Amino acid sequence: MALTDNKKVTAWVDEMAALTKPDSIVWIDGSESQLEALRAEAVSTGELLKLNQEKLPGCYYRRSTVNDVARVENRTFICSKDKVNAGPTNNWMEPSEAYKLASGIFAGSMGGRVMYAVPFSMGAVGSPFAKVGIELTDSIYVVLNMAIMTRTGKAVLDMLGDSDDFVRGLHGKCELDEEKRYIMHFPEDNAIWSMNSCYGGNVLLGKKCFALRIASYQGWREDWFAEHMLILGVESPDGEVKYVAAAFPSACGKTNLAMLIPPELYQKKGYKVWTVGDDIAWIRIGEDGRLWAVNPEAGFFGVAPGTSAKSNPNALESVRKNTIFTNVVLNLDDNTVWWEGLDKNPPKNALDWKGNPWNGAESEEKGAHPNSRFTAPAVNCPCISKQWEAPEGVPLSAIIFGGRRAKTAPLVYQASDWDNGVFVGSIMASETTAAATGATGVVRRDPMAMLPFCGYNMGDYWQHWLDMGKKIKNPPKIFNVNWFRLSDSGKFIWPGFGDNFRVLEWILRRCEDKVTADETAIGYVPKADDINLEGLDYTIEGTRKFTRDTLGEILTVEKDYWLEDVKNIKEFYGKFGDKLPEKLAEQLSALESRLKA
C-alpha cells in the first residue's frame, strides 16, 4: 500500500509501474526491520554477502558486473527543452526523444521483479534546505545504499504533504547493458531516469543526479547554490569553530581533507577538525548576510583504495560497521575485506573484485577495483561535526577551490574579491597523471569541480555565482590551493594530508585579517614565513628535506606557465559564446595584462 495519499505521488508511481510492469510495489518506510528483511533477502539471492559480523558488524559485500564500475559521463544527459540550456559541457538530448528512447528500454523491464519506492530527503528532515525525492528502483542494493546516503521513509512523505515539489527518480537495472545505459536528467520536469547500471554515482539518484545536477538548476532558479564541495569546521583552542567549504575535482582527496587530523603540535594546542560533509554542499544566504551550508547527504560513498590508518584513520573507523563494500577484495580466511593501500598484508586466500581467486602475495593484478567503494553512515565518523545536521547549516568563513597542477598554481593563493574568486573557480583545472592516461600534463578544465555535475549551461552558472555575489552582504573569502606541485623529477613537493592543516590555518588567519600577504598577478600569496612549518619533518621521496626554501618554491607564481594557461582558458571560455559572463572575460584579460606587466 502506498505510504502517502499525495495524488501527485501516487499518480506518478502508477504511471511508472504501468511502464515498467513490476510484479509488486514495496514502499520503504524507513524502519530498521524492513531494511533488515531486505538485507536477508539480498543475501539469500546472492546479491549481497554478509561479512564477518564480529569484525565488521552490520557490514555487507557486493561485486558488480565487470562493465558497471564507474560514472558514465559520455552516457549522462541533460534533457532541457532548449539545447542551449544544457550548454557546451553537457551531453544533451531533446526531452521527448529522451523519454521515447528510455520508455522503450524501461517497458516491461521490471517484470518478475519488485519495484521499491524510496522516499528520501536531501538535507535533514525539517531543515529549510531539505528537498524531497522519490526513487523507484528494482534493486535492493540501491535501496540499502540510499538508506545510508539519504534520510528515507515515512517521515519524508509527511514532510512533503500534498506538495508537488519532489524529484521523480526512476532507476531500473534492466539488463545492465552498456549499450543501453543512460543517465537522463530533466531539470524542467524535476525528473531523473537512470537505466542499465547499478553503480552508485549513476543510480543513487539523491547524490550526483539530484543533489548536484537537478539541485544546481533549482539553485539557479531559487537563489542558492548546490556545489561539489566538502564542508569542514576548524576548532581553535578557545573552542570557536570556523567553517570552510572546498571544491576539488573527483579523486583529489576531498574525503581526506574533510576528515583531516591536524599535525601533533596543533592537536596539543587544542585544534580539531570536524567533518560536516565530504562531497556536496547546499549553500544559502542567511539572515546575517553570510553564506550558510549544509551537507544534504547522510553518508559517505568513498573510494576504498588508498584509505588507510595513515591516509585517513577517520574514514577507516567509519567503515567498521553498517557499511556496504563494493568491488573490494574479499578475504576468504576471515570473511573480511581488503583493498590496495589499506596495509602491507594483502590476504593470500581471497577473491578479487571480479570474483576470481586472488593471492595478494603473488598476484600482479590489483585485487580491488581502483574505483571500489564503501558506503558508510556519516554518524560512524569519529570526527563528525556536532553541527552536521543543524537545520540552518554552518556559516562559511572561506570557500576553497583546488586542482592537481604540477607547476602552475602555488600551494595557496587568495582571490582579491568575490568576482575575482568566481573567476578563480571558473578556471579550475587538473592535470591528468601518467598512470591515468599515458600522457602527463593534459589539462582538463573543471570549473568549481562541477564539469560533470552542472545541470544547466555553465555560462549561466557562472553568471549565477556573480549575481549571488551582489546579494551576499558578508561573503566568505575565496582561495585556491594546490597540494600537488611536482619537483623537476616528478615528486610531490608538499607533504599533503594532515599537513594541509598548516595551509588551512593561514587561510583562516587571512579571513580574520591577522596576516598580510604578497600581492601577485594572480592574487594574494602567503609570505613564506607565515605558514607554520613547526614540527614538519618531511623528506621529499627520501632525498630532500622540506625546508622553508622548499616552501618558497611552491609559493612561486611562474608567469610563463600562467601565460600558457591563459591561452588554454581562452580556448575553453570560447566554447561558451555569448553565455560567457562579460565580467569573466574582463577578469581574464586583466590577468593577462598583469602577467605581461
Please give the residue ranges that form the binding site for ligand OXD (CB under 6 A). 71, 201, 250, 279
User: What amino acid is encoded at 574 in this protein?
Assistant: G
Q: Please pick, among 252, 381, 454, 511, the residue that the annotation labels catalytic.
A: 252
- Alpha carbon 560 to its chain centroid, in Å, reads 32
User: With binding defined as CB under 5 A, does residue 279 bind Mn ion?
Assistant: yes
Minimum Å gap between C-beta 70 and Mn ion is 12
8 A C-beta contact, residue 246 and residue 402: yes
Minimum Å gap between C-beta 314 and ligand OXD is 17
H or E stretch at 476: none
Minimum Å gap between C-beta 201 and ligand OXD is 5
Question: CA geometry: angle at 582 spanning 579 and 583, to 5°?
Answer: 125
Annotated active-site residue 252? The verdict is yes
| CA distance linking residue 258 with residue 302, whole number of Å | 12
Q: Which is nearer to Mn ion, 115 or 303 (CB)?
A: 303
Minimum Å gap between C-beta 71 and ligand OXD is 6
**What residue is closest to ligand OXD based on CB?**
250
* Binder of residue 420, out of Mn ion, ligand OXD, none (CB less than 5 to 8 A by kind): none
* Helical segments of 21-94, H only: 32-45
Q: Which is nearer to Mn ion, 373 or 502 (CB)?
A: 373
* Binder of residue 201, out of ligand OXD, Mn ion, none (CB less than 5 to 8 A by kind): ligand OXD
Q: Which of 439, 538, 525 is nearest to 491 (CA)?
A: 538
Q: Which is nearer to ligand OXD, 63 or 373 (CB)?
A: 373
Minimum Å gap between C-beta 369 and ligand OXD is 13
468-473 long-range contacts (CB < 8 A, ≥24 apart) are: 468/223, 468/225, 468/285, 469/418, 469/419, 469/422, 471/223, 471/285, 472/285, 472/289, 472/290, 472/291, 472/418, 473/288, 473/289, 473/290
User: What amino acid is encoded at 126 in this protein?
Assistant: G
Cell of 48: 549481497
8 A C-beta contact, residue 68 and residue 198: yes
Q: Which of 277, 5, 289 is nearest to 161 (CA)?
A: 5
8 A C-beta contact, residue 303 and residue 254: no
Which segment (99-107, 273-281, 479-487, 588-596) binds Mn ion by CB under 5 A? 273-281
Which segment (92-100, 272-280, 351-359, 502-510) binds Mn ion by CB under 5 A? 272-280
Number of residues that bind Mn ion (CB under 5 A): 1
Minimum Å gap between C-beta 147 and ligand OXD is 18
Minimum Å gap between C-beta 211 and ligand OXD is 11
Any idea what DSSP says for residue 449? Answer: G
User: With binding defined as CB under 5 A, does residue 446 bind Mn ion?
Assistant: no
Q: Which is nearer to ligand OXD, 218 or 250 (CB)?
A: 250
Cell of 27: 514502499
* Binder of residue 263, out of ligand OXD, Mn ion, none (CB less than 5 to 8 A by kind): none
Q: Which is nearer to Mn ion, 248 or 353 (CB)?
A: 248
Q: Which is nearer to ligand OXD, 70 or 472 (CB)?
A: 70
Helices (H) and strands (E) in the chain, counts: 17, 33
User: With binding defined as CB under 5 A, does residue 297 bind Mn ion?
Assistant: no
Q: Which is nearer to Mn ion, 229 or 584 (CB)?
A: 229
Q: Which CA distances in Å does 496 have to 9, 199, 405, 483, 556?
A: 48, 30, 14, 6, 18
Residues of this chain that interact with Mn ion (CB under 5 A) are 279
Which residues are known catalytic residues? 252
